[in-house]
Amino acid sequence: MTDFNRRNFIKKAALAASAAVVTPALLDGAERTANINSVIGGNGTLTNDNSLSVREFGNKLIVPTENGIKITGTFLDEISHDIPHQNWGEKEWDRDFKYMKDIGIDTVIEIRSGYRKFITWPSPYLLKKGCYMPSVDLVDMFLRLAEKYGMKYYFGLYDSGKYWDTGDMTWEIEDNKYVIDEIWKMYGTKYKSFQGWYISGEISRRTKGAISAFHQMGKQCKDVSGGLPTFISPWIDGKKAVMGTGKMTNDQAISVQEHEKEWNEIFDGIHDVVDACAFQDGHIDYDELDAFFSVNKKLADKYGMQCWTNAESFDRDMPINFLPIKFDKLRMKLEAAKRCNYDKAITFEFSHFMSPQSAYLQAGHLYDRYKEYFNIK
């Protein structure tokens, strides 16, 4: 290879790498594809040909569109305990809130305000207990961005990790007694966007101390805030409830009848202080959605609670944790929730698994497919 050809090759390779790396954070899905096509032509030469832009292909779906419940809420996970941290600053978060707003998201939920020693705000109480000082006050930032984009913000309680170590949810009560009071004094009276609480312990039917813990924490949240709504997001102990087991299938999956009986008991003990339940939808198979969703709605109606779905936008069917979900799987879950007359759909979670600027390239494509399905321009 001559020096001239070698220099040309290096130059083209560098341009291609720049297009692939830089544009996902700056452009929407159609523009990402068009940009790469415009930089390197099919014969390896530089070109400005945008003829392959996905905008020209239009909507080719062969299923009825707008047949599911729309996602109007998302968790915000900046502890990033088990998914990669994206290291965003306020500029990136502001852009992401705009992407959320563009598809109709009106509610953001901080999934947990702290996990073990990592916290999302400079908590005087938790810092004294040995937690690490965060470089940015994310609670304040999320509240400001929620106000800017006309969204409701729900604060997720602190997770000490003791529940995960012991299986006993009552361990989470003591720290949150201080956290709830502290957060409300620091932010609740300052921001109109502070509109609710997420009792962040993820439980199943078998969780020790769940009713007592949820009732105590839910009551305190309501008492300090003048009755702002609270919600929970437990999992269904189904076929795919295998986290941490090394298995792909749960051989002790709960039946629909057992699910109804056991959650009837839990709802009976918490419904006066918990306003909504958003069951995680990823632990059951797609042909079981209607059966379990119908029971969830029936129980919520019985106890005067709202029935939400936590439409997981990551794929539990893969042995890799965690990647954006295949669009058809998300579609089927949203359609089942609509058939069962659910009140709201939220997701875990937009910024990693649906955002056009996610570290995962597939997330932006999922965003595009979602917009196509719901005819969002």
Angstrom distance (rounded) from CA 290 to CA 365:
27
* 43 and 76 share one domain: no
* 49 and 121 share one domain: no
Grouping H, G, I as helix, E, B as strand and the rest as coil, residue 68 is coil
Would you place residue 15 in the very low, low, confident or very high pLDDT band (cuts 50, 70, 90)? Answer: very low
Query: Which CATH number characterizes residue 120's domain?
Result: 3.20.20.80
* 134 and 15 share one domain: no
Give the number of domains in the chain: 2
CB 323 within 8 A of CB 315: yes
Is the peptide bond between 322 and the residue preceding it cis, with omega within 30 degrees of 0? yes
* 40 and 101 share one domain: no
* 42 and 129 share one domain: no
Q: Would you state the pLDDT for residue 70?
A: 98
Residue 65, in any domain of the structure: no
pLDDT tens figures, 350-360: 999 999 999 99
Q: Given its phi and psi angles, is residue 154 left (phi above 0), alpha (psi -120 to 50 degrees) or beta?
A: beta
* 27 and 100 share one domain: no
Residue 45, in any domain of the structure: yes
pLDDT for residue 77 is more than 90: yes
pLDDT for residue 20 is more than 50: no
Cβ neighbourhood burial of 176 (10 Å; 0-12, 13-18, 19+):
buried
Average pLDDT over residues 281-287: 96
Residue 62, in any domain of the structure: no
* 26 and 175 share one domain: no
* 104 and 212 share one domain: yes
Amino acid (one-letter) located at 221: C
Q: Which of 181, 190, 188 is nearest to 158 (CA)?
A: 181
Residue 66, in any domain of the structure: no
* 17 and 103 share one domain: no
Strand boundaries in 25-151, DSSP class E: 71-76, 107-110, 114-115, 118-119
pLDDT tens figures, 110-162: 999 999 999 999 999 999 999 999 999 999 999 999 999 999 999 999 999 99
pLDDT tens figures, 47-67: 344 334 445 677 899 999 999
What's the chain's average pLDDT?
87
Angstrom distance (rounded) from CA 47 to CA 87:
33
Residue 61, in any domain of the structure: no
Burial 305-333 (b: 16+ CB within 10 A, else e): bbbbbbbbbbbbeeeeebebbebebbbbb
* 24 and 79 share one domain: no
Residue 355 domain boundaries: 71-373
CB 54 within 8 A of CB 34: yes
Q: Would you state the pLDDT for residue 255?
A: 94
Query: pTM of the entire structure?
Result: 0.85
The phi, psi pair for 235, rounded to 5°, reads -110, 155
* 218 and 363 share one domain: yes
Average pLDDT over residues 5-19: 45
Q: Would you state the pLDDT for residue 243?
A: 60
Query: Scanning the structure block, which residue is given the tokens 């969830």?
Result: 296
In angstroms, what is the C-alpha Rg of the chain? 22
Q: For residue 206, what are the CA distances in angstroms to 202, 203, 210, 257, 262?
A: 11, 8, 9, 15, 9
